[in-house]
Every structure is written in C-alpha cells, then in structure tokens.
Amino acid sequence: MKISFSKPAETTEGALVAGVFEGRVLTASGQRLDQQSGGQVTRAMASGRFTGKRDQTLTLPAPSGLNVQRLLLIGLGKPEKLDPMAAEGFGAAAIGQLLTAGDKQVTILVDAVDGMGLSSAAELAAHVAAGAKLRSYRFDKYRTRQKDEEKPSVSKVVISLAENAEAKRRFAKLDCVIEGVFLTRDLASEPANVIFPESLAEQAKGLAEHGVDIEVLGEKQMRKLGMGALLGVGQGSERESQMVVMRWMGAGDETAAPVAFVGKGVTFDSGGISIKPGANMEDMKWDMAGAAVVIGLMKALALRKAKVNAVGVVGLVENMPSGTAQRPGDVVTSMSGQTIEVINTDAEGRLVLADALWYAQNRFKPKMMVDLATLTGAIIISLGDHYAGLFANDDGLAEKLAGAGKAVGEQLWRMPLDDPYDKQIKSDIADMKNVGGREGGSITAAMFLKRFVKDTKWAHLDIAGVTWAKKDAAVTPKGASGFGVRLLDRLVADHYESA
Ligand code: BES
Ligand code: MN
Ligand code: ZN
C-alpha cells in the first residue's frame, strides 16, 4: 500500500474519506462535497444516528455529483480532542473499513481546524497517514489460496491537503518507526519452526545494512562468560541458544554512555519439563516478542538516524522438554555468580533476562536500561490487554516511560517493586528460586530480575498481555501488535537524544 500526499484536486477514483466533527460539523472540504452532491451529505447524516462522535462511520455509496465509488464519513469527536492519537485513529478507521472493500484507491481529505490539538494541517495529515499504514499491516505470507475478494484491494492512499510537501516530510520520520513496528510484528507472527534462536539472530543481522553493528554470541562464548541461567533454559532444545548485541551509535560521540534495551527472546516456550497444558500452547511462538521489539526499535532508531547511542541485547533460546532438558530442582549459576534453584522450568524468561541484563549493564555501563518480556500470565490477570506492567527502580525513568506511552497510545501501569515481595523467592538451598508462588506473580518475577541489576536506572515492561491483539483495534490489526517500539522510540526522542 503506497501512501502519498497531494494538493486538493477533484478525485474521480475509488473511495473518498472525510472527517466530521461532533454535532455533524463538516470540515471545509466536507462542505465542498456536500455542495457538489446537492446536500446529499447533510441529508445522509440527518437520516440516522451518525453525529460525528469519535469512531462513528457512515458510508454513502455512489454519491451523486461526486465521481467516486463511495464517500466514507468518519466521526472525529470534538476538535480540541483531535490530537496525534485521534488523527491516527482517523486514518486507521478509514483503512479498517476500506482495505478489503474493493476500492484500489483511497483519498483522505485533511483540513486543519481552529483549536484542534495538533499544530498544523501537515502534522494532522502525517498522523492520519501513520494510522492508515499501521492498520494496513497483514501477515499473509503463508496463505496460498486466498480468494481475490479476501485480499486487500487498496494499493494507493492519497492524503489530500494544501501543505502536502510539509506533511510528506513529517510522515517520513513517523514511517521509519512504523518500519520498525512492522519488523517486530513480522518476527512475532512467524511460527517457531521458522524463527528459532539462530534464524532470529540472522534476522537481526539484517540491520547491519542500516548501520547497526551486530555481534552474535553462541553457546560456547556464553558458557565462557558464565551465563548458566540462560544456557540452562536452552539445554533441552536441539537449537543452539544465541545472544545478539546490536549497537546504534548515533550520538556523534563514541564515548557517550548508551541507553540499553534488553529483550526476552524465547522462540518457543513449551514450559520445558514443567510442560504447559496443550490449550493455546501455540501462542508461545510469540514468547520472543520482547526481543522482537528490541530488534524493531533498533531498526527504527537507525532508519531515522536518531542522535543517540543505543544498545540492544536479546537472549534467544527455545524452552523444550527432552532428555537433556533442565529439571525442576536443578541449581544453575548465573553470570552474576548468584545461584538459582529452578523450581519450575516454565519460569524461564527471568532466567534468560538474568544473564542478559547482567551482561548489558556490565559491558556497556548504560545510563539507563529497559527490558521487555512476555514474562508472566499474572500480568494478564492484573491488567488485561490495555496496559503493560511497568516496574522500575527509578521514579524519573518510570515517569518518562509512562509519559511516552501515553503520547503514543501504548499505555503502562506502574506496579510495585518493593522489598517485602523479595521474601517469596528465597530458596532453601540456593541464593534464590525462580518462582515466588501465585500471589503477586508478576511482581515476584520483577523482584527476581531486580537481583540482577546493580545501581543502573532500570525499568522492566511485562508485555505478556499487550503483545498479541485478539481482535482488530485502532492502529493494531488482530495479531502481533509491536507494542513497545513506538513507546521506546518516543522515550528516546523526548529524553535521550542530543540536540
Ligand atoms: N511466557 C510465559 C508467560 C506468558 C503466558 C506470556 C501467557 C504470554 C501469555 C512465561 O514463561 C511463563 O510460563 N510464566 C509462568 C510463570 C510461572 C511458572 C511462575 C506463568 O505466568 O504461568
Ligand atoms: Mn514459561
Ligand atoms: Zn515464557
């Protein structure tokens, strides 16, 4: 789907899309369409319940006086509430309705209005385009028998406004981040027979062409480094575990401390010997989503040439039961030297992150570190699929993250990270155990990670509930959401880039 920006001109093809404010208030271009159609737009709105409230839509097929297949009206709500996210919702709603409706071309009319929550028509248009593109994502590579009417029909989206050149320039920046989101969605969507530790590392290597420096550590190197926690998780698998280190040095000062992002990359989580029940086990192909977000984020930062030094570290393993698998009760020694009694082999993500976090902070001395992981089912019980869990040892970092999340619509809810919970992971024979019981399961998981962070400012995002959308929503079609890429890109842009 190609997106372009052009000056207003009469459209004679496909579908036209116009926004309507609450109270059936047409924008300037909407009023023009109404006139051309002899008042048909006004009459259509008056004939039903469409009042221009956010998310309402009304389709006028073959509108008279207009040379198009259909006119789609989309409610924009109140003008003062028209912010970047609402603008994205507008573009997304258009594509949600039209992508497979039969039209090849969609033209979206964009007008600035007084008092809107965006600085200009160009900014509005750029976000409308971003929403359209985010919603157009499909993962269709394994469908070989798709009927024509099931395939997307829209190949061209035209955003129509006078300030088209400025809008195009602004969209180019957003588009870099969307490319990162799409990479993350692709990787999380792939099945586990295609994406396993080595093939995921291979995918990360693809970022080299954008100027990201890539190193891959195999099991031999990780053993040398003492990463017994991570290696224990992978030891039941036929696939070799990997750790990928990605570096984007965009600050213009090689010596400036980087920001670090660490991802859980369990390419399939069967549970290991503590095997999971069969129902929905296929979901565990996306237990590498934290790693996929870090890879997508590194791509976004590189594409938009972010003025920041950033490192991404992802621990890639497959958690399988076999004769070589680790057993419940095994004790492993992490790179930090701390020993862990593995009570439950299904609490594997924290074991992977223990070594990845330790490695990232010791090697790179980052100014802050954020990890992402589909870590616990308990976070889904706590927060459902609307918020990811945020755990942090630093209030400033927590606030920055929550603010970035709000700005891009990837919301975070702060959870406690407090000493009383630490008791739950005391072991009878080792420094700690890897599970803390059912009570506060996401918190004890975070407390476990905290034991592998020294005095670095650090936050942990438990994305188990938000990584996979069960149904279509605004800018996220059903499936892999890419949650975290736009959030962390925004965090970097707002707080960690040099001028
Ligand atoms: N990958 C899972 C968590 C998960 C569950 C992610 C559902 C997405 C959807 C994780 O490795 C896991 O198995 N966690 C266990 C921990 C328990 C054994 C302490 C859980 O949440 O049940
Ligand atoms: Mn597990
Ligand atoms: Zn897992």
pLDDT digits (tens, 9 = 90+) for 379-410: 999 999 999 999 999 999 999 999 999 999 99
pLDDT of residue 12: 86
Distances (CA, A) of 330 to 22, 224, 342, 430, 435: 62, 20, 5, 10, 13
For 121-175, what is each residue's pLDDT tens digit? 999 999 999 999 999 999 999 999 999 989 999 999 999 999 999 999 999 999 9
63-66 long-range Cβ contacts below 8 angstroms, 24+ apart: 63/33, 63/37, 64/37, 64/38, 64/40, 65/36, 65/37, 65/38, 65/40, 66/16, 66/33, 66/36, 66/37
User: What ligand 1 atom has the least distance to the C-alpha of 435?
Assistant: 19
User: What span, in angstroms and rounded, lies between the C-alpha atoms of 372 and 353?
Assistant: 9
Do 265 and 196 meet the contact criterion of CB atoms below 8 Å apart? no
Residues pairing with 371 in the sheet: 262, 460
By the 8 A CB rule, do 434 and 330 touch? Answer: no
In short, whether 437's Cβ falls inside 6 Å of ligand 1 is no
Q: Which residue's CA is minimally distant from atom 7 of ligand 1?
A: 377
Q: Mean pLDDT over residues 55-67, rounded?
A: 95
Q: What is the mean pLDDT of residues 41-63?
A: 96
The answer to whether residues 236 and 326 touch, using CB atoms and an 8 Å cutoff, is: yes
In this structure, which ligand is nearest to the CA of 317?
3
CB of 123 shorter than 6 A to ligand 1: no
Q: What is the DSSP letter of 434?
A: S
Neighbours of 472 (CB within 10 A): 12
Distance CA 457, CA 442 (A): 20
d(CA 289, CA 373): 7
The alpha carbon of residue 431 and the mean position of all alpha carbons in its chain are separated, in whole angstroms, by 35
Give the start-to-end residue ranges of the domains of the chain. 2-162, 177-495
Residue 155 CA to residue 288 CA, distance in Å, equals 31
Q: Is 269 in the pocket of ligand 1 (CB under 6 A)?
A: yes
pLDDT tens digits, one per residue of 326-355: 999 999 999 999 999 999 999 999 999 999
Separation in Å, CA 392 to CA 82, 408, 453:
32, 20, 11
Q: Quick one: CA dihedral 253, 254, 257, 261, positive or negative?
A: positive
Q: Which ligand is nearest to the CA of 271?
A: 2
Residue 418: CB atoms within 10 Å: 12
Q: What percentage of the chain carries pLDDT values higher than 70?
A: 100
The answer to whether residue 81 is catalytic is no
Residue 499 has pLDDT above 90, yes or no: no
The per-residue pLDDT for range 169-215, each reduced to its tens digit, is: 999 999 999 999 999 999 999 999 999 999 999 999 999 999 999 99
Q: How confident is the model at residue 100 (pLDDT cuts 50, 70, 90)?
A: very high
What's the confidence (pLDDT) of residue 11?
A: 86
Domains 2-162 and 177-495 share a fold: no
Which strand (E) or helix (H) includes residue 230? helix 228-234
State in Å: Cα 133 to ligand 3 middle.
Answer: 30
Provide the CATH topology of domain 177-495.
Aminopeptidase (3.40.630)
Higher-scoring residue by pLDDT: 55, 345: 345
pLDDT at 53: 97
* CA angle centred on 192, ends 190 and 196, rounded to 5°: 100
- Residues with Cβ < 8 Å from 404, sequence gap 6 or more? 487, 488, 490, 491, 494
Gap between the Cα atoms of 82 and 124, Å rounded: 9
375 CA to middle of ligand 1, Å?
6
Q: What's domain 2-162's architecture?
A: 3-Layer(aba) Sandwich (3.40)
Mean pLDDT of 39-50: 96
Mean pLDDT of the chain: 98
Residue 157, token pair as written in the block: 């989206």
**What's the CA gap between 171 and 97, in Å, rounded?**
22
Give the residue-averaged pLDDT of 284-301. Answer: 99
- Structure-token match 């959308």, residue found: 469
Strands 242-249 and 259-269: unpaired
Q: What is the pTM of this model?
A: 0.98
| pLDDT at residue 55 is higher than 90 | no
What is the per-residue pLDDT across 418-468, written as a single tens digit (0 to 9) for each? 999 999 999 999 999 999 999 999 999 999 999 999 999 999 999 999 999
Report the 10 Å Cβ neighbour count for 243: 27
Percent of the chain exceeding pLDDT 90 equals 98
Identity of the amino acid at 301: L
Ligand 1, residue 377: give the atom nearest the CA.
21
Alpha-carbon span 476 to 166, nearest angstrom: 26
Q: Is 490 designated active site?
A: no
Question: How confident is residue 91, by pLDDT bands cut at 50, 70 and 90?
Answer: very high
Mutate to test the pocket of ligand 1, among 230, 287, 343, 432 (most ligand atoms within 8 A of CB): 287
